């Protein structure tokens, strides 16, 4: 396996916890100041950019990606100097909107997050939409890629020059499918049906050699069960989150959590991505040095 250029993939393959900040969501903007501050903040390994609950504005996403770039640092370090950005899509897993996957990936993001995945078929359809077609005889031909080919912009953000197209195609494949693949997929499990099918979803991804993050989406999950999203008296929601953690651990897939309130406990159960939703003034729970130290990250 070649050396990883994505710091996020490198950390996950070392089985280390990773920390993300939401931008363009819940009180955190997507302007130049936000990009500069987020890029410089060493407490966050990657950024989640919301397109689900904010307008589908790819022009703004492109500007945000551009604002992350420090030309001098990129020249010195390479692609690893740009903090990975994973965009949450506006469409749900049950909606076969391959064009949305294609357009967002063509901005140059490091991965996508798909809301409301409820079946193994939905998860695998996202995998197919996210990868370029492979050679018919390739050992990793399946799931067959459906992504249209227009590499100029994403190739640039992934750190490859115009003559390095083959290297880009390898790196831009889905993490796990190609030895060099670094495209990260995040599947949000946030309904009763998704929980009921979580082992089948995780098994299907594992059988296809897809490495992906399963996100335990507690907010929508609590609504699906008709319980409080604060989890104060939400036994079914809590049980659903535990089922997602268990499936991730069983099939070797990292699990993402909305908070770090019980990070050590969740980490022991298989959580490897912790998402900070908004600043503390808006009810979020930013990563603290104490949490990082408890999980072995300085």
pLDDT reported for residue 1: 44
Distance of CA 29 to the CA centre of its chain: 19
pLDDT reported for residue 104: 98
CB 224 within 8 A of CB 192: yes
Which of helix, strand or coil describes residue 86? strand
How confident is the model over 125-176, as pLDDT tens digits?
999 999 999 999 999 999 999 999 999 999 988 888 888 999 999 999 999 9
Q: What is the DSSP letter of 145?
A: P
Name the pLDDT band for 63 (thresholds 50, 70, 90).
very high
Give the CA distances from residue 64 to residues 14, 50, 108, 109, 126, in Å, rounded to whole numbers and listed in that order: 29, 12, 11, 10, 24
Write down the pTM of the prediction: 0.95
pLDDT reported for residue 78: 67
Q: What is the DSSP letter of 287?
A: -
Q: Cα(103)–Cα(98) distance, rounded to whole angstroms? A: 9
- The residue with greater pLDDT, 203 or 289, is 203
Say if residue 291's pLDDT is above 90.
no
């Amino acid at each position: 396996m070649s050396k990883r250029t994505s710091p996020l993939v490198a950390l996950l393959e070392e089985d280390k916890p990773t920390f993300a900040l939401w931008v363009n969501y819940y009180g955190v903007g997507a302007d130049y100041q936000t990009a500069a501050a987020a890029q410089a903040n060493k407490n966050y390994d990657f950024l989640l950019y919301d397109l689900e609950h904010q307008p589908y504005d790819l022009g703004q996403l492109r500007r945000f990606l551009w604002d992350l770039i420090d030309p001098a640092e990129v020249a010195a370090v390479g692609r690893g100097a740009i903090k990975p950005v994973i965009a949450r899509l506006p469409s749900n897993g049950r909606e076969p909107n391959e064009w949305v996957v294609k357009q967002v990936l063509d901005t140059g993001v490091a991965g996508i997050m798909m809301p409301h995945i409820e079946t193994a078929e939905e998860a695998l359809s996202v995998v197919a939409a996210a990868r370029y077609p492979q050679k018919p005889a390739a050992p990793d031909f399946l799931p067959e890629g459906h992504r249209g080919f227009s590499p100029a912009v994403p190739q640039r953000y992934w750190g490859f020059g115009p003559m390095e197209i083959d290297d880009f195609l390898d790196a831009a494949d889905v993490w796990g499918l190609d030895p060099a693949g670094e495209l990260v997929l995040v599947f949000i499990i946030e309904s009763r049906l998704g929980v009921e099918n979580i082992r089948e979803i995780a098994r299907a991804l594992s059988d296809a050699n897809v490495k992906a993050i399963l996100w335990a989406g507690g907010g929508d999950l609590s609504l699906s069960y008709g319980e409080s999203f604060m989890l104060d008296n939400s036994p079914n929601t809590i049980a659903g989150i535990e089922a997602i953690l268990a499936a991730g651990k069983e099939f070797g897939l990292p699990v993402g959590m909305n908070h770090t309130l019980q990070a050590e406990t969740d980490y022991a159960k298989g959580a490897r991505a912790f998402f900070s939703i908004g600043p503390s003034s808006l009810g979020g729970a930013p990563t603290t040095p104490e949490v990082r130290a408890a999980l072995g990250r300085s």
